[in-house]
Amino acid sequence: MPIETATQENSTIGLKAAAAWRIRAVNVLPGYRLSITCNDGTNGIVDMSALVNSADAGMYAELKDIHMFQQVNVELGALTWPNGADLDPSWVHEEISKYKTWSVPV
């Protein structure tokens, strides 16, 4: 069963991510993959399996724990996890725009 997270509004300041390349929603898929939708409607699959399974994963190695991986959240348009890991939303948008499915490099 996919887990969906939508963009959160920053209630303290009242700002909401509006840039076209910012991520609006994410669904967790099997195999360390994420289905994402950006503010401009661009959507696709981010495959993080090579990264989380790499010996050089750094802080992303913690995401190999599927329960940690499933805690992905969208904060101000970026994919984030509780351990501080995140992905640059402009990079995600650029790659998804070109390929629809993007394997995050190690």
Min mean pLDDT across 11-25, 48-62, 78-92 is at: 11-25
CA–CA distances in Å: residue 49 to residues 29, 55, 58, 69, 71: 11, 12, 14, 11, 16
Give the β-pairing of 78-80 and 86-87: antiparallel
Q: Domain map of the chain by residue range?
A: 3-103
pLDDT on residue 2: 55
Min mean pLDDT across 3-7, 51-55, 86-90 is at: 3-7
Question: For residue range 46-60, what is the model confidence (pLDDT) as tens digits?
Answer: 999 999 999 999 999
- This prediction has a pTM of 0.82
Amino acid at position 99, single letter? Y
Higher pLDDT, 20 or 16: 20
pLDDT on residue 72: 98
* 3-103: CATH class: alpha beta
Task: Tell me the pLDDT of the chain averaged across its residues.
Answer: 89
